[in-house]
Amino acid sequence: MSPFPADAPSDLPGPPWLRARRDAARERFRAADPPTEAQEVWRYSRIDELDLDAYSPLTPGTGDRLVDGAGLGSELPPALEAVAAAVGERAGLVVVHNGRVVRTELQPALAERGVLLGTLDDDPAGGEDLVGSVAAAPDFFVDLNTALMADVVTVRVPRGVAVERPVLVLHWVDAAGSAVFPRLVVKAGEASQVSVVDHVASPPELAAFVAPVAELDAGDAANIAYVGMQELGRKVWQVGYQTSRVGRDATLNSVLVALGGEYARVAADSRLDGLGATSRLRALYFGDGDQMHDFRTLQDHDAPKTTSDLLFKGAVEDHSRAVYSGLIRIRKGAAGTNAFQTNRNLVLGEGAHADSVPNLEIEENDVKCSHASAVGPIDEEQRYYLEARGLPPEAADRLIVLGFFEEILEDINVTGLRPPLRQAVASKLEKARLETAALRTSEPETAEAQPAPLGTGTA
């Protein structure tokens, strides 16, 4: 991977503190060795194929028309409109076009109660306490994001305020050949409550590179529900980072959904930072064609009596691949901790492959930990049971795969998102089925050219 970008603008915008952080991030980025698959955290990935120089960064400094929101008026692209419609009534909306915030809405009643939604410019405090507050540890792509991000979407909920309906953040990436760096910071004050749906999509044929960073900060006794949905086109590369800090008696419920992208990675870290903090981490991913989904997780217990419960479920069709690699770290002093990690993968295509690598690192005695992982095809017994009730195999498989994901869908608090996600899973299965059928109809020609060897026929 080549260094990127050699010609990055040096006059990055923002207040002095932000410019200082951007400069520092860019210096770290320039000094760092680019990631390679030889490194453990990039093992099984496709990072060696990434050529950052093939993309042009869209930053405010470039003055590119693509970042000023041109071309995206009050009408949302249909893909985004569908998400907004599924969510239904909402607390607020932010539309982000190629990394630049082009539209912000917030219920006036919430604004009156001090809820802030928008960019750093909209934040009276200037946002210095937001950016990088959770994503503190240096990371190659986080640094790149910090240096080159256009706008920071900020969601700030004051102490004691409950935002009942979801806040919707819709990203649309439609600049061909661009590198886009979405940034979201959610800061939930003490005993507050907020639900955020963070959705990213792009046109089907567009090639781009997206490196989003989401920072979630749940203050003491706060409750954050986060749904991160990725429905990018098949030529988009994504290297994303989601990081959360969960305070005393606070709760994070996170559900990640990955359906699109060519290679789409999310590293998701959750730091349980205060006594009694809880993280519930979920993911649903489904690849077909030549897609690859890649998840790296860290459940980082840094306080006593904390709980983390991770369940990631994936499926791979056709020639797609998936990787899950996760670590539970229980630091000294995090006594009385419960930590669970489960990863299950359905392998639906003969050319498909999934890797699952769970890990534990425990420095404390009084803890309850478990991890489990599974990679395998559809259960024959389940299929036989349904077939015995008269279901054709494709109908049985569809129900079994949908049923497999149902456990994750039920954890999406924004219930309106469940039906379209079921539909998305079903249409992926249908597409694969039609392609297999098309292959079968072309088989006789092959058979004629190469007669099957004797003894392999079945009656």
Partner 1 sequence: MSLLEISGLRAGIGEREILKGIDLTVSSGEVHAVMGPNGSGKSTLAHVLMGRPGYEVKAGSVSVDGQELLGLPTWRRAQAGLFLAMQYPVEVPGVSLQAALEESFAASGRQRSQVTELVRHEAERIGFRQQLLTRPLNVEFSGGEKKFNETLQLGVLRPRFAVLDEIDSGLDIDALRAVSRRIEAATSESDLGVLAITHYSRILHELRPDVVHVLSEGRIVASGGPELAQQLEQTGYAAYGVEQPAGRAEAQPLPENPFADPFA
Contact positions toward partner 1, by CB under 8 A? 379-382, 384-393, 395-396, 399-400, 402-407, 459
Distance CA 315, CA 324 (A): 12
Query: Could you identify the residue written with the tokens 């806040």?
Result: 167
- At 151, is the secondary structure helix, strand, or coil? coil
Shortest distance in whole angstroms from residue 415 CB to partner 1: 16
Q: Which amino acid, 397?
A: D
Shortest distance in whole angstroms from residue 418 CB to partner 1: 12
Tokens, residue 136: 């503190």
* Closest by Cα among 228, 280, 282 to 259: 228
Shortest distance in whole angstroms from residue 356 CB to partner 1: 18
Q: Of 162 and 372, which CB lies nearer to partner 1 in the complex structure? A: 372
Shortest distance in whole angstroms from residue 409 CB to partner 1: 9
Shortest distance in whole angstroms from residue 88 CB to partner 1: 23
Q: Of 328 and 348, which CB lies nearer to partner 1 in the complex structure? A: 348
Q: Of 17 and 385, which CB lies nearer to partner 1 in the complex structure? A: 385
Distance CA 306, CA 68 (A): 44
Q: Of 206 and 391, which CB lies nearer to partner 1 in the complex structure? A: 391
Chain centroid to Cα 227, Å, comes to: 8
* Closest by Cα among 242, 379, 373, 218 to 306: 218
Q: Of 176 and 400, which CB lies nearer to partner 1 in the complex structure? A: 400
Shortest distance in whole angstroms from residue 383 CB to partner 1: 9
Question: Do residues 317 and 292 lie in contact, with contact meaning Cβ atoms separated by under 8 Å?
Answer: no
Evaluated on CA atoms 243, 174, 97, 413, the torsion sign reads negative
Shortest distance in whole angstroms from residue 164 CB to partner 1: 26
DSSP characters over 347-371? E-STT-EEEEEEEEEE--SSEEEEE
Q: Which amino acid, 367?
A: V
Q: Of 2 and 415, which CB lies nearer to partner 1 in the complex structure? A: 415
Q: Of 73 and 457, which CB lies nearer to partner 1 in the complex structure? A: 457
Does 5 sit behind a cis peptide bond, omega within 30 degrees of 0 on the bond before it?
yes
Distance CA 331, CA 371 (A): 17
Shortest distance in whole angstroms from residue 82 CB to partner 1: 24
Q: Of 389 and 440, which CB lies nearer to partner 1 in the complex structure? A: 389
82-88-94 Cα angle (round to 5):
75
- Write the CA distances from 84 to 10, 164, 294, 327, 378, integer angstroms: 37, 16, 27, 34, 33
